[in-house]
Chains A and B, each alone.
Chain A
């Protein structure tokens, strides 16, 4: 699962969020700090 930063309190907005060990990712999603990145399978295909 890939996550994108939504809040600047977590990091650069729009950057990928890579959770460190022990981080409660569900709480970050619930609070609106990060979001699940959309699947980019179509983009990957078009790049090919």
Chain B
């Protein structure tokens, strides 16, 4: 049995806008792309780090109200911004770090995703950018 678990309840901020109350899924994956640097004489593949290529995927309830989800995202398509997620709502700390992607690019936005009788939600992905963690209380 796990001695410690985490009941998902992250804080989500996109371009300074708190979207936690509209978000149902957040996946931030830190990736540093590998390059094969195996050479003759080796018996197993060896990889080395190249460029960082992290991304944040969010599933958001789509709303068109004033200063809500659509208003937050509509002008970010095709631009870079800063996105931030945090495990919980407490202050930044080593056990509740603010995970930040700076200069992350939003390539596309489903401006309409509607099905009869369903609550509209969208998936968006911020790609690239520099990853950092904030563990100090501002």
Contact = CB atoms under 8 A, between A and B. Distances in A.
A22 B80 contact: yes
A32 B71 contact: yes
B72 to A, nearest CB: 6
A3 B76 CA distance: 19
Interface of B: 15-19, 66-68, 71-72, 74-76, 79-82, 102-103
Given A20-B16, A26-B75, A33 B67 contact: yes
A24 B81 contact: yes
B79 A24 contact: yes
B15 A28 contact: yes
Contacts of B17: 7, 9-10, 28, 31, 33
Contacts of A33: 16-17, 67, 71-72
Given A6-B67, A9-B67, A32-B67, A23 B16 contact: yes
Top 6 nearest A-B pairs by Cβ distance?
A: A31-B71, A27-B75, A7-B67, A30-B75, A22-B82, A24-B81
Given A21-B102, A33-B71, A27 B18 contact: no
A10 B75 contact: no
Given A23-B82, A32-B71, A9 B76 contact: no
A19 interface: yes
Given A23-B81, A27-B76, 6 more contacts: A9-B18, A17-B16, A22-B82, A30-B74, A32-B71, A33-B72
